[in-house]
Structure 1
Amino acid sequence: MSSADLIRRHLNAFNSGDVDALMADLHPDATWVTGDHEVPPGTLREFFATAMAGLTPHLELHRIIDGAGVVAAELTETWTHDGQHRQAALVAIFDLRDGRIARAKIYREGSADA
């Protein structure tokens, strides 16, 4: 599987709300940073499950730049919070190790606040 295919599979798992499949793509010691917030070690499953249940997010992929061990993805995220539909452009940089995502850094246009 190519690095780009791994990221596409990861995004599909995110969009379908499949936390188990999402976690399967993450290295056991993966780190996740969105904006200025780094998800504490060992809490990624809870982080994603809570976001999926409360915000119903969806990611639309526009393009992937595959640097083999590092992949950049340009996306649009849409979600609903307190009955309001929201949207933001974002770029995600994924560092890969052993065929899995070892680190993700998410750069979001505007505020990452729900």
Structure 2
Amino acid sequence: MDAREALVRRHVDAFNAGDVDRLLADFAPDAQWVTGDHVVPTGGLRPFFAAAMQHLKPHLTLVRVIDGTDAVAAEMTETWTVEGEARSAALVAVLDLAHGRIRRGKVYREGSADA
């Protein structure tokens, strides 16, 4: 496993563990995250991920990583719960990398990105 795939696997493991500190360790300080039409502003990653982990209890299952050197695509399945109802969607996250850290993430979700 190369360093880029290891980074994706660390990201998914930290996400699934609900460990925001570990999740953010692989992001560049000025990282941007885009999901659906929502752009998380620079500096807003901690509250964004903490709220999602607390309220939706999401879980990612990694299907495969496609290595594009300075960018990787991670195909995944996400499951989460809203008001006691389990939901699931296929998604692809395209991660732009710089110096071994995530500089920008863009999530493409099957169906609506609304929880």
TM-score when normalising by structure 2: 0.97
1:13-52 equivalence runs, <5 A: 13-52=14-53
SS in 1 for 2:114: coil
| RMSD over equivalenced CA pairs, Å | 0.8
- Give runs of aligned pairs for residues 1-114 of structure 1, distance below 5 A: 2-114=3-115
Structure 2: how far apart are the matches of 1:13 and 1:99?
Answer: 17
Aligned-residue offset at 1:70: 0.5
Task: Determine helix, strand or coil for the equivalent of 1:11.
Answer: helix
Name the SS for the 1:27 alignment partner: strand
Deviations 1:39-83 (A, max 9, x none): 122110000000000000000000100112110011000000101
Cα distance, 1:98 vs. partner? 1.0
Q: What is the aligned-residue identity percentage?
A: 64
Structure 1 residue 10: deviation in Å?
Answer: 0.7
Provide the aligned length of Structure 1 versus Structure 2: 114
TM-score, structure 1 normalization? 0.97
Gaps (5+ residues) in structure 1? Answer: none
Runs of 4+ in 1 over 6 A off after TM superposition: none
Distance in 1 separating the partners of 2:109 and 2:34: 11
3-state DSSP of counterpart to 2:21: helix
Measured against aligned partners, the alpha-carbon deviations of 1:11-54 in whole angstroms (never above 9, x if no partner) come to 10000000000010100000000011101221100000000000
Unmatched segments (≥5 aa) in structure 2: none
